Amino acid sequence: MLNHCKMALLLAAVGFSGLSFAQMHGAKPERIRGDIVSFKGETLTVHRASGDTVLIDVKPEIGVSSFKPAMLSDAKVGSYVGTPAITGSDGKMTATSMIVFPEAARGTAEGHFPYDFGPNSTMTNANVVSMVTGAAGRELHLSYKGGTSTVTVPENVPVVTPVPASKDDLTVGKKVFAVVTPLDKGVYEAQVLFVEKDGIVPAF
């Protein structure tokens, strides 16, 4: 069980950049966010915010994860975190949420990547090297292989940490976040899968 949990968390960190999956599968990975319509056999049907409905093939070996609440103060010097962020006209990055990763996920998908939250959105998986608390929130100085970033994490953004879930949590109406590779038009294969649980929606 411990090995399965660690693997699920490691895959979760990989999924936020998508770069590793592109190398592994030879196809450009995609991120799917939406509401579960049904889950039958190995087929997860998801209605996306864009209005279309897609089918996701969930192989038996694919683990399911969710999130539990964390606190901004859980990100300490030395923590490994993930911060989707928007870069403003002043060039400064402001986080839209923050993931505090467990030690098992340290170093996975490390780096600073373009993201799909709109123009000027990025995802940074990195180590916290220092921080300053100010009126706008907590300013984190992050270090990753090949560079550094500074991101402000406002007090009111969601802060979470990943935890294992199960396929029993894939119920109608729950929100999901999946990193997938395309198989055919409207059909995808899941590589990473997060599901809403206990009211905590994957906000990534």
Residue range 42-51: average pLDDT? 94
Residue 194: band (very low, low, confident or very high) from pLDDT cuts 50, 70, 90: very high
CB 160 within 8 A of CB 67: yes
CB 95 within 8 A of CB 84: yes
Strands 93-95 and 147-153: parallel
Q: Is the pLDDT of residue 7 over 60?
A: no
Per residue in 98-150, pLDDT (tens digit) is: 999 998 888 878 999 999 988 899 999 999 999 998 777 899 999 999 999 99
- Lowest pLDDT segment from 15-29, 114-128, 129-143, 186-200: 15-29
More confident residue, 20 or 174: 174
Q: Give how far the C-alpha of residue 137 lies from the chain's centroid of Cα atoms, to the nearest Å.
A: 22
Quote the CA–CA distance of 100 and 187 in Å, as a whole number.
32
Residue type at 132 in one-letter notation: V
Whole-prediction pTM value? 0.83
Quote the CA–CA distance of 117 and 115 in Å, as a whole number.
6
Which is nearest to 58 in space by CA: 203, 181, 163, 173? 181
Please report the pLDDT score of residue 186 as a whole number.
76
Please report the pLDDT score of residue 105 as a whole number.
85
Residue range 163-178: average pLDDT? 96
Quote the CA–CA distance of 44 and 190 in Å, as a whole number.
9
Phi and psi angles of residue 19, each rounded to the nearest 5 degrees, phi first:
-65, -40
More confident residue, 48 or 1: 48
Quote the CA–CA distance of 117 and 73 in Å, as a whole number.
25
CB 144 within 8 A of CB 124: yes
Most confident of the following: 10-14, 16-20, 117-121: 117-121
CB 67 within 8 A of CB 194: yes
Helices vs strands, H then E, count in the chain: 2, 14
Which is nearest to 67 in space by CA: 54, 53, 77, 82? 82
If 0-12 CB within 10 Å is exposed, 13-18 middle and 19+ buried, where does residue 47 land?
Answer: middle
Which is nearest to 140 in space by CA: 93, 189, 195, 192? 93
Which is nearest to 176 in space by CA: 4, 58, 16, 46? 46
Q: pLDDT above 90 covers what percent of the chain?
A: 73
